Structure 1
């Protein structure tokens, strides 16, 4: 009889350990999801700031380089879309392997002189 109780106690302890590990495993993805949702909100705020900066930044024709706001906005949109795709996967799909631009300095095109 003692053997049956010991065996039952061992099985209960093993089951409790498995349940505890499952709860810990579920807690990490939930925290990760919350972090990713927060990251999305921060990216949206950053996109608004960049769009606002782009409207006020008129490229100076005398400067050789200017900040490439459209490229930065495209990269931010790609990051946001990747997070969104992770948070709400529709089905298993191949990953997009395009790399981010990363180079945000664009060379200005000198104004053309009218030769008429």
Structure 2
């Protein structure tokens, strides 16, 4: 039943991006042929104003992966304590635990980067 909504959404999403890619390419080609080189940059995606680039990408994703693993371990430990508490099909608790640990990973990364910047 969920596939009835998911498949058309994926098809429209893909069609949108393909049409956008082709139209951007054609517009850039027309601008280059018209020797309007300075206007070709208008079609590029806007870059963030913040000059602070992601300085530690491996640290960020390493922390997120670590905290996700710890979250899965906590979920399994809770299954050992009380099987009915985390059913897997009907419970929202495992998703909540996992999201809390993933967000903790991002927060730890944020505090590490802000501490090194000062």
TM-score, length of structure 2 as denominator length:
0.33
**More relative contact order, 1 or 2 (CA 8 Å, 6+ apart):** 1
Q: Normalising by structure 1, what TM-score?
A: 0.33
Answer 1 or 2: which has greater strand percent. Answer: 1
More helix by share: 2
Task: Point out the structure with max Rg over C-alpha.
Answer: 1
